[in-house]
Structure 1
Amino acid sequence: MIEQSVLMYLKEFILKSGEELDWNSYSDENVLSEVKIIKQSVRTFRVLGVLTLSLQTHHSELTKTDSKLDSLAITARKKVYLDDQDRQTFKWLEDGWIIKEVRFEKDEKTVHSSHYRMGFRLYKHEQIKIQHKMDRIHNEFHDIKDQILSMLLTQIKDQQSFSQQKEQGIQNIIKRMDQFHVSDLMSPIYFPEKWLNGKRLKFLHFVHAFSKICVQKNEFDWKEIGANYYQKIGGSKEFDAYKQEFIELLEEWVNYPAMELGLTSLGQITPIYFAGQLRGNYASYNWGPVHALTNISISNEVYRTKATTLWLVENRAILTRMASAEQFLEDSNSLIICVDGHLRSAHRKTISQILDNSYIEQVMIWCDYDSSGLQISKEISIAVNQHNELRVKWILPDQQVVNDWIQYEKYVLSFLENSKMEQEQMIGGIELWKKWILD
């Protein structure tokens, strides 16, 4: 009796649409069986090829495959060409690791192609490897999460000398990790979409390492984070490859610049370019030229604006063009912030602070019309949507506006099938910008 799982595998990965296997001539007396690939209807019956395979029951446990077989990197849909006369090929075939697939010409006799495919045993072997890998990832995730929460909850309970920023940053990590489930490892809410599981787990180790030294020292160097955590030669370099990315995401999680939590010697200041009226506790900006805040000032200030329309644009060229348009900002009561091609934690905090402390009525989101621009639009939308009672508009490449993200995404994805466009190609002018505000 042939296992149902084998039949399902052959149907899904080996056979083409409308094809079947003719089991009438099949015999289980031999180690290898030949099964015809057929296609039939009421009037026709065609033999399209033949499969040679082992249908013997093989052990399901994870076994060590031949290194040469591993080097072929066979997948369920990949075809490989092997020497039929090689004893090793026959052994793999006999053991169920591979299947021989022969396809015929229309005469149903002449060989059109001959190659080898992944056998069900190898497929099952790879699935078990994948499951074991996922189990290791899940176990590692739970270990890191438990260690971070246990350490921080203990430290914040016993420690009385933390600064307000450090204590709040630690509380934000605790809150984030407490809500974090293993299923969230693949969520774009927590990580950039392009990050693979290994990098995501590495970041969680970084959060653990940063948290650990953060509660131990008032000030610490970048190299100390890895060295203190791994306690081995080369440990100080463990996070170097992801330095900028990890710092930016950490700052987003804790909602503070890393230097406010004790990290020194990075020497990095993130500028936030804007134009329009803005006031803080220590500084005030009026309508007119382009100005710049920094991640440090955002952390130590409380900014607010008189503007009722907030523009969030991807590129500096749009910012400078709109800022230079005489009286536009003041007449339209607008504030423009440029995310500069990448929405960093400093931008998120700026947006959140302004929306929390001002009376913004609507937000205009304007990004490039390419895959990166669409991703930035999505990130901005997520940041803005945390604030209710806001009217949000997205600028389309045809110089129209929509106030629904799904509609915008659908339109841009359709547009990207045939072309791409930068914001500057449809920059327009004062009348068009005012029209968008009123639409």
Structure 2
Amino acid sequence: MISLEEMNYINKYLLKSGERLDLPNNIISSNPIIEIKIIKQTERTYRVVGLLTLMANVVEESPFAEDLIDLGFTPKKKIQLNEHDSNTIKWFNLGFIMKEIRLKRDGKTVDTQHFRMGYRLYTYQQNRLRAQEEKLEQNFSSWKTKAKSFFPSTIIEMTNQRDRGVAACLSIINEIYDMDVDQLKECQAFPSGWSLSKRFKFLHFIAAFIQLGHQKYDFDWKEIGASYYQEIGGSKEFDRYKDDFINQLEEWAQCPVALLGLTSLGKITPLYFSGQITGRYSAYRYGPVHSLTDLSISEEKYKTDSTTLWLVENRAILTRIAAEKDFLEETNTLILCIDGHLRSSHKHCIKQLLTNGNILQVLLWSDYDPDGFHIAKEMYLTVKENHHGSIKWIQHSKQVLDTWQEYEVYMQDLLKDQRIEQEQVLGGVEDWRKWINH
């Protein structure tokens, strides 16, 4: 016989609005296969709209059909299977799937036929999800326990910049301490696209990094995992996400990892620009294209007297506009080249310029493709946090938009059938002036 729990499952996931099950009164206990009518009844009509065929009284000790997982069944999903196939028969007999037939308006003619997730498969998936959630809770608890060892008895003397970077990371970690797993899933301190398992892995990475940083002034990438896991293969534990984890660490620390003690990466991140910038140790005037580095940005406090900040995605745009004699100086414009996705040092420099300078407006210009759209959003979110003046976006038609909402709708429509690079709509001095003066 069919259980109350199975009935509730069918009512919730398989039936449409206004439908109900019509259980047969003469179910033969020796026959494990049950056929149930799906009916739709109103004050005037009583109509059979479908049939459900399922296996009842399944022995729960029978093994789970692992080969069923690849089909991707969900409670709402309908899947076409060959009902005479040996696997289909096996899955049906074990109660993992049920057959649903939908009838035409005459209540007799078959309209569609497909298989649905059975109650036994549903309960198996729910149990597995609960087990996974318990494992995640244990993982999170384990990380919290390990994180308490951030402060060993012997702590080496650190530079001011290193202290600030570590303190910034610990500030975020302290907020995460009080979260549960569900809150961690939505935590804004991580990129939105990161899975929960990747977030957990990064938490272990940051614990390992800070722990090792307290023990040694300089250390290599491989030492981070090796010292943390203390087992064969530990040095490779974080290799899969190396670039992502380094970028995220720099985002949290607001400085390059080289200043936090990580050596031998051999990488310096440049920020190309043209215009007027001054710092404590350097000064740049209008003229050629210059570059700052992630190391100099972390040590400097840059500012500008320019009133327009222009962020572009591609170097070719930067070099073309910078080559136009006196244009940037006459329009009092500083132009920065993001050169791909924003790095933490880029964000830090933009924040410095917006906070310390006299920027009245910011122009954002990126490619008209999915990556360019994503970069435009990264630029906008960085600028928005530190700027209360005008923000503008350049359309491929050489028109200007004044709000992110307008630009978002424009790009979503454009990307349905077009991909355009900045260089294709570069324009000339008159266009650039029009955009600045818009």
TM-score, normalised with respect to structure 1: 0.87
Tell me whether 1:179 sits opposite 2:180 in the alignment. Answer: no
SS of match in other structure, 2:100: strand
Tell me whether 1:236 sits opposite 2:232 in the alignment. Answer: no
Amino acid at match of 1:122: L
- Mark the CA change 1:436 to 1:212 in structure 2 (over 3 Å): closer, same or farther: same
Partner of 1:192: 191
Write out aligned runs for 1:55-66 (5 A).
65-66=64-65
- Mark the CA change 1:6 to 1:367 in structure 2 (over 3 Å): closer, same or farther: farther
SS of match in other structure, 1:292: strand
Which segment drifts farther, 202-211 or 331-340? 202-211
Structure 2: distance between partners of 1:2 and 1:406: 52
Partner of 1:52: 53
Which segment drifts farther, 92-101 or 421-430? 92-101
- Mark the CA change 1:426 to 1:138 in structure 2 (over 3 Å): closer, same or farther: farther
- Mark the CA change 1:6 to 1:414 in structure 2 (over 3 Å): closer, same or farther: farther
- Does the 8 A contact of 2:156 with 2:214 survive in 1? no
The percentage of aligned residue pairs carrying the same residue is 43
User: Which structure 1 segments of 5+ residues have no match?
Assistant: none
**TM superposition shift of 1:438:** 2.4
**TM superposition shift of 1:232:** 1.3
SS of match in other structure, 2:135: helix
- Mark the CA change 1:27 to 1:208 in structure 2 (over 3 Å): closer, same or farther: farther
Partner of 2:34: 33
SS of match in other structure, 2:287: coil
**TM superposition shift of 1:122:** 1.1
SS of match in other structure, 2:398: coil
**TM superposition shift of 1:401:** 2.5
Amino acid at match of 1:170: V
Deviations along 1:63-112, whole A, 9 cap, x unmatched?
Answer: 962334445543331415255485x7666445532112245578765666
Partner of 2:433: 434
Partner of 1:10: 10
- Mark the CA change 1:47 to 1:375 in structure 2 (over 3 Å): closer, same or farther: same
Partner of 2:357: 358
- Does the 8 A contact of 1:51 with 1:101 survive in 2? yes
Structure 1: distance between partners of 2:189 and 2:375: 15
Tell me whether 1:170 sits opposite 2:166 in the alignment. Answer: yes
The total of aligned residue pairs comes to 432
Write out aligned runs for 1:209-220 (5 A).
209-220=208-219
- Mark the CA change 1:302 to 1:130 in structure 2 (over 3 Å): closer, same or farther: same
Structure 1: distance between partners of 2:420 and 2:7: 49
Which segment drifts farther, 331-340 or 46-55? 46-55
Structure 2: distance between partners of 1:63 and 1:279: 74
- Does the 8 A contact of 1:54 with 1:96 survive in 2? yes
Partner of 2:220: 221
- Mark the CA change 1:332 to 1:133 in structure 2 (over 3 Å): closer, same or farther: same
Structure 2: distance between partners of 1:433 and 1:142: 55
SS of match in other structure, 1:65: coil
- Does the 8 A contact of 1:311 with 1:365 survive in 2? yes
Write out aligned runs for 1:123-162 (5 A).
123-145=122-144, 147-148=146-147, 150-152=148-150, 154-155=151-152, 159=155, 161-162=157-158
| RMSD of equivalent CA atoms | 3.2
Deviations along 1:331-368, whole A, 9 cap, x unmatched?
Answer: 11111111111111111111112222212112111122
- Mark the CA change 1:425 to 1:131 in structure 2 (over 3 Å): closer, same or farther: farther
SS of match in other structure, 2:200: helix
Amino acid at match of 1:389: H
Which segment drifts farther, 114-123 or 343-352? 114-123
SS of match in other structure, 1:117: strand
- Does the 8 A contact of 1:80 with 1:117 survive in 2? no
- Does the 8 A contact of 2:78 with 2:114 survive in 1? no
- Mark the CA change 1:397 to 1:132 in structure 2 (over 3 Å): closer, same or farther: farther
Deviations along 1:39-64, whole A, 9 cap, x unmatched?
Answer: 667887654542112466998xx996
Deviations along 1:114-169, whole A, 9 cap, x unmatched?
Answer: 54321022113212322332332244234324533x233x35x9746121122111
SS of match in other structure, 1:306: coil
SS of match in other structure, 2:420: coil
